[in-house]
Amino acid sequence: MRFSSIQGASFVGNELMLPPGVYEIESDLRLNPNVAIEWNMRVGGTIYAGSIPGSSVSAVALLHTSTAPQRAIVTITSSSGGIDFIITNGVGANLVSDCSYLKITKLQ
C-alpha cells in the first residue's frame, strides 16, 4: 500500500475530512470472485453530483473483465463534511486490496 498525506486531512469514523480546497479524486476497486458492483463518492453523506460512478466486473481467477474508476473534481469548503464511498449496485464483493486504490490530488 502506498500512502501520501494531505496536510490537514483526517479520518472521522468512515469519512475522510479534507481541508478546504479543490481536489481531483479517483478510486478503483478490483474484485474477487465473479461479482459486479458500482460505487460512487459522497460528500457530507450525499452522492456528489459531479462525480462519475465507478464500476467493476471480475471473473474467476482474478481475470478482470472490465473496470471503470470513479472520478470527480470536488470543491471542499469548511462546511462540506467528509468524503466517503457507497456501493450503489451489487453485493457479495471481496476487494483485491493490493489492486484497489484511492487517489486524491489537491488542485487548489
- Per-residue pLDDT tens digits for 74-105: 999 887 878 998 888 876 677 776 777 888 99
Give the global pTM: 0.79
* Structural contact between residues 24 and 69, judged by C-beta atoms closer than 8 angstroms: no
- Per-residue pLDDT tens digits for 49-76: 988 888 887 755 555 556 788 999 999 9
Cis check for the bond before 69: say yes or no (omega within 30 of 0): no
Q: How confident is the model at residue 35 (pLDDT cuts 50, 70, 90)?
A: confident
Question: For the chain, what are the domain ranges?
Answer: 10-106
